[in-house]
Amino acid sequence: MRAVLVAGLLSFTACLPTGVVCVEGTLPCGSGCIDPLNDKRNCGGCGQSCGANQECNAGSCGCQQGTTSCSGECVVTDSDSLNCGGCGVACASGLVCELSACKSACTVGTTMRCGDSCISTVSDVNNCGGCGLACASGQSCRNSTCTYDVVAACFSTGQLIGLSATSLSKGTLTSVGSAPQSLAVMGQTILSLDGLDRRLYQATQSSSGLAQAASASAVGAVPNQVIVDGTTAYVVNAGAGTLQILQSGVDAGVLSLDGGASGLALGTVSELNFGMNTFPESATKVGNVVFVTLYGGTGSAASAGQTIAKVLVSDPANPTEVGRVDLSTLDLHAFDGGAPVARPWSIVTHNGAVYAVLNNLNPTTWSPEGPGLLARVDPSTSALTEVALAGSDCLNPQWAQSVGGKLAVSCAGKAVYDSSFNVVSASGAGLVLLDEADQHLATWSSACPADAGSCAVMTPGRFTVSGQRVLLGDQNTGRIVVLDVSDAGLSEVRGVTDAVTTCPSRNVADLLTLP
């Protein structure tokens, strides 16, 4: 008996590991996880704050863009009276520094005196809207208000992160819900559609960064996209097969959460069901009609989709389906032996027409079996036109958006896995640019260059457009590639080898440009 007891006791190993587990790329800190690469309050580790005029990049504090390091401090030589125009160049007592010169007073109309500095509080990130009002990392100061240019949704970690479209500096990862899938903005409020929680969360931003608001709305199963028009939000619930319409000022279905600033009362006014196995995925609004892609189910249930539903929403409380555009008759230019179906994934309004992205996948294996295509629909006549992208250089297209008068389309490609099911390559992946006449203008490939050394494989997904700049999210890793668009085509700002690490280790589900 004694021997048995001793043997048994010995087999109980040490205490069970318990506690918060932080996803790859974040570290435990207090009761939560911090982003040591980007959080200037915890830069490189828990509690390691950056100093004034510094930001956190790759875990190290450095001088913000527009500042200069002088004796270990980051200063704005344009306006710092102790370093006016250069390190150590101090203005005499009573003088101010304006535009790198010592003056007796601020003379430029857009500046105001903050101490001995002349500052444009309309645009200065360290004095935004008033002296000493500093913006958070990654924010710009626009019209005296701190704001991010772009917000990214990190699905796998349940976080949002803001960034600057110009400097590409980033804010702090901020928990909003559990699995943000789609982003939109209503007024000053960011809407985050959550795939795991089945909620439409809200986030606000201030000079401290992003924060989840105390209001949310219940949505249907497997929500995939939210779009906003004025004070109305349209949520596409893929699993539930519905288009859900919510309006500000309506209480139905509004949830109050603990903590956070009060948000919008965004309640459900109606819901329209498209039928079983339709799997609506995306929507765009033209006039009073919302066009919704019906993707269809797996196998034989694919036939329930392959259409674009037209929903009249002039009375949001009573949406009415007024027709469907059948895509099944399109020539999908199947590859040899392929049998894809015309599944419309995302949809966008561009130059007055509606463009639906066709993945061209096999209905059961989900493998690309034809080139990525677009279906162009005339909103008034529903006339259907097929638009080619880039042949086999664009497989499994995902997302489309206007860039000026041009149309950009991302292509996830055909992934190849190794024996451990890691993606080792993706052919036909990148971004395609069509000109105003829907003709191919340029293709950017996300394939790793042959001489790149270690280079993580990218599978492009959703993207956003800021001016003439495309910020393209990666579904395979949490990075963003940045491309500039011009009449000449696409030029890399940050390519696949130096992409902006944004979401901790996992995919960027969506990107939103803030107004």
Partner 1 sequence: MVGPSRLTAQAVVTVALLSARAIAQSITPLAPVDVPLPAASELSPESPLSREPSSPVSVIDLTERRSEAKDAAEHLTSVPGAIISDVGGTGQRKTLSLRGASPNAVLVLLDGVPLTPPGESMDLSRIPAAALDRIEVLRGAGSRYGPGGMGGVVNLVTRGPDQALHVFGTASQGSFTTTALDVGASGELGPGQGLLLLHGLRSEGSFDFRYDATPEVVGSPSTLLPRDNNQALSGGALGRYRWQVGATQLDFLAEGALEQRGLAGPVQNPSPDARQQTTRGTLSARSATRFEHGGTLSLLAFGRLDSTELSGSVFSGTYRQLASSVGVEATYAQLLGRHGLSALLSTGGDWLREPSNTNPAWGRLGALVGDEVLFFDGRLSVNAAARVDVAGPFVVVSPKAGAALQLPLDLSLKVSAGQASRTPSFLELYVLQGTLLPNPTLRPERALTADATLELTRERYAVGVTGFASLYQDLISYEYYPPAMAKPFNFSAALVAGAEVEGRVHPVSWLDASVSYTYLHTQNLRDDPRYYLKELPFRPNHRLAARVQAGVPLAMARAELVFQSAQFMNRTETLSLPARALLTLGVSTRPFKHPAITVAFEVKNVLDVQTQDVDGYPLPPRAAYLTLGFAWDGAPQ
Interatomic CA distance for residues 426 and 476, integer angstroms? 10
Exposure pattern of 241-280 as b/e (b: 16+ CB <10 Å)?
Answer: bbbbbbbbebeebbeeeeebeebbbbbbbbbbebeebbbb
Closest approach of Cβ 91 to partner 1, in Å?
Answer: 48
Nearest-approach distance from CB 189 to partner 1, in angstroms: 20
| Smallest distance, partner 1 to C-beta of residue 233, A | 12
- Pick between residue 232 and residue 244 the one whose CB is nearest to partner 1: 244
Token pair listed for 490: 């696409």
Least distance from partner 1 to the Cβ atom of residue 223, Å? 10
Our CB check for partner 1 shows the closer of 181 and 513 to be 181
3-class secondary-structure state, position 10: helix
DSSP letter string over 422-446?
-EEEEET-EEEEE-TTS-EEEEEE-
Q: Which residues of the shown chain bind partner 1 in the complex (CB under 8 A)?
A: 1, 4-5, 7-9, 11-12, 16-23, 31-33, 155-158, 175, 178, 196-199, 218-221, 237, 239-242, 244, 252-253, 268, 270-273, 276-277, 279, 297-301, 363-365, 412, 415, 421, 423, 459, 461, 475-477, 506-507
Task: Report d(CA 124, CA 130) in Å as an integer.
Answer: 9
**Cβ 30 to partner 1, closest distance in Å?**
10
Q: What's the closest the beta carbon of residue 415 comes to partner 1, in angstroms?
A: 6
Q: How far apart are CA 51 and CA 40, in angstroms?
A: 8
3-state secondary structure of 335: coil
Nearer to partner 1, 33 or 211 (CB): 33
- Identify which of residues 77 and 159 has a Cβ nearer to partner 1 in the complex: 159
d(CA 202, CA 211): 9
Closest approach, Cβ 400 to partner 1, in A, equals 18
Taking phi over 0 as left and psi of -120 to 50 as alpha, with beta for the rest, 71 belongs to left
Taking the least distance from each CB to partner 1, the nearer of 14 and 92 is 14
User: Considering only CA atoms, which of 407, 406, 306, 311 is closest in space to residue 358?
Assistant: 306
User: What distances in angstroms separate CA 20 from CA 27, 32, 359, one per listed residue?
Assistant: 10, 7, 39
Q: Which CB sits closer to partner 1, 16 or 488? A: 16
Integer angstrom CA distances of residue 305 from 274, 296, 309: 10, 4, 9
Based on CB atoms, which residue is closest to partner 1, 169 or 244? 244
Q: Pairing state of beta strands 223-229 and 232-237?
A: antiparallel
Fill in the amino acid letter for 209. Answer: G
What's the min distance (Å) between Cβ of 12 and partner 1?
6
User: From the CB of 330, what's the least distance to partner 1, in Å?
Assistant: 21
Q: Which is nearer to partner 1, 53 or 159 (CB)?
A: 159
Report the residue number, 54 or 268, with the smaller CB distance to partner 1.
268
115-142 b/e with 16+ CB inside 10 Å = b? ebbbbbbbebbbbbeeeebbbbbbbbbb
- Least distance to partner 1 from the beta carbon of 7, Å? 4
Q: Which residues pair with 189 in a beta bridge?
A: 186
Q: Which is nearer to partner 1, 20 or 452 (CB)?
A: 20
